[in-house]
Chains A and B, each alone.
Chain A
Amino acid sequence: MSLNERDLVLRARQGDVAAFEELIEDQQEKIYNLVYRMVGNQEDAMDLTQEALLKAFRSLKSFRFQAKFSTWLYRIATNLCLDEIRKARRRPLEHSLDQPVETEDGAIGRELPASWGNPEEHYERSESQRAVQEALLHLPPEQRLLLVLRDLQDCSYQDIADRMGWPLGTVKSGIYRARQALKQVLLECELIRPEDV
């Protein structure tokens, strides 16, 4: 842990919001992306990301400087995400994937990527992105999380193990099963085809 990070944690523990914002500056967008891919819509992703960051802020006194701050933060976010998804399974879905989201800037479709190409490409890409996102949502949340961390956020097995607090072997076998499961869903939706490989 860098001296600066340690100092920021100590300041944030005392309620220094600016110090906390500096601590999470490089992480919040990554965490938002992770959460978004886990829940599949902007509204829930925004709520859950903010909730995770607030939880981290409230729990700073339990941070013992034994791990990197980002690892600790990720663990809070992923655990919160998994908990919420499990809870959501027990209640009706509040948002469907094709329902537009009301924001301060008006109604927008879900799963809008950050940048777009030309309109035609945009359409194809957006359809493809939407379909892959929906395929991800068919997986059990733990498998979804493993693939997002590994394939989208480019985390090593060890990073994932640290962030999740899981044994390395569990991570490896989990990724194997998750990729097999997603392959089946993508095949069924014809998002990948044997004749194309």
Chain B
Amino acid sequence: MIGEGDVVTCSQCRSRLTALLEGDLTPDEASPVRDHIASCASCREEYGLLQGTAQAVRDLEPLDLPAGFQRGLRRRLLEEAPVPWYRRVHWAIPASVSSAAVLILVLVLASALDLFAPTPDLMRMGTEHAQVADEPSPEDTFADTLVEDSPRLEIADQDRAVATRLSAVLEVPDVQPARRSLSRLVEDLGGEIHRSAEIPGGYHHLTITFSQNLTSSLLNGLGELGRLEYEELEGHDLHAEYREASDLVSLLEDMIEIERARQDPDGARLVRLAEEMDRALLRQERVESMLNQVLMELLLVNE
């Protein structure tokens, strides 16, 4: 170790020239090297050559992206872009309705995202159906609906079992008859009105659950009752969960195929992979189930 006041040899100096150039020496370490350079022509020349070498690279001028780079890149990116999840799970808002859309908000609730964390208390494998709370809340009923779709799952915290929320405003000629028509419509479609509250100003706030497969029918029905306004916002974290779950299943399929080909007599690794696959499939099924359910909040207002 060399420090301030030490005298360095040419060899010691040379081995530190790059560090000096890089500013990688402490002041105490740099001082004797600088002193040596000042008094030794040969080391001074070597240091100058290294400085010149670094400078030659630094002097290379920056280049602009070539003409057509962006256009070519975009074309190739568009060719690569995967099909969005909502196309793959047949998200069913009819184009005729969405083109007139103004105000539907599709919100992926933060609490719903918690469900996707593969924590043992949240999901566990089993054959029994969900345990229903003693006094089920409206959300519990919704959770039950989800569980019926995937009976191997148990939802530990049913208050959080809301996958997707859709908010809409329906302008109708008269709220009360529309309210009755709406009840019949939801019932016919197998949906359920969980909450109904009259809000000052003559508005009615309704919370409805229905399955994704019924979404388009319900929206069509609502469109016949009055003027429906909505727009769709995507919940991107949910998309990522769907993709990750699917990717994991694909990966495990490949790994199991490889493991089978190895014909390991012990087979312990294959068993572990099969268990992993069970969990992955369960998670994928769970995410799909969440995506296939919608909680709708509807505000009925007079025209």
Contacts and interface: CB of A to CB of B under 8 A. Distances in A.
B224 interface: no
Given A42-B66, A175-B22, A10 B236 contact: yes
Contact of B240 (A14, A104, A179): A14
A132 B55 CA distance: 11
Interface in A112-132: 112-115, 125, 128-129, 132
B52 A151 contact: no
Contacts, number: 140
A71 to B, nearest CB: 20
Given A50-B73, A175-B18, A17 B52 contact: no
A95 interface: no
Contacts of B83: 15
Interface in B65-115: 65-69, 72-74, 76-78, 80-85
Residue of B54, B72, B85 with highest tally of chain A CB at under 10 A: B54
Query: Chain A contact residues (Cβ within 8 angstroms of B): what range?
Result: 35 or more
B18 to A, nearest CB: 5
Question: Do most interface residues of chain B lie in helix, strand or loop, or is the interface mixed?
Answer: helix
B52 A103 contact: no
A98 interface: no
B233 to A, nearest CB: 12
A105 B224 CA distance: 57
Given A15-B83, A36-B63, A115-B61, A10 B247 contact: no
B84 A15 contact: yes
A186 B72 CA distance: 37
A196 B67 contact: no
A152 B58 contact: yes
A140 to B, nearest CB: 15
B127 interface: no
B62 A183 contact: no
Interface in A46-62: 46, 49-50, 53-54, 57-58, 61
Interface string B30-67: 00000000000000110111111110111111111111
Contacts of B237: 10
Given A13-B243, A17-B81, A21-B77, A132 B56 contact: yes
A29 interface: yes
A118 to B, nearest CB: 15
B259 interface: no
B157 to A, nearest CB: 24
A144 to B, nearest CB: 10
Interface string B196-225: 000000000000000000000000000000
21 contacts: A11-B236, A13-B239, A13-B240, A15-B81, A17-B77, A21-B74, A29-B65, A32-B65, A50-B72, A54-B76, A57-B77, A103-B68, A104-B67, A112-B63, A113-B62, A114-B62, A152-B57, A182-B53, A187-B49, A197-B44, A197-B48
Given A14-B243, A29-B62, A186-B53, 5 more contacts: A50-B72, A125-B61, A152-B58, A183-B52, A196-B52
Interface of B: 18, 22, 24, 44-45, 47-54, 56-69, 72-74, 76-78, 80-85, 234, 236-237, 239-240, 243-244, 247
Interface of A: 7, 10-11, 13-17, 20-21, 28-29, 32-33, 36-37, 42, 46, 49-50, 53-54, 57-58, 61, 103-105, 112-115, 125, 128-129, 132-133, 135-136, 147-148, 150-152, 157, 172, 175-176, 179-180, 182-183, 186-187, 191-192, 194, 196-197
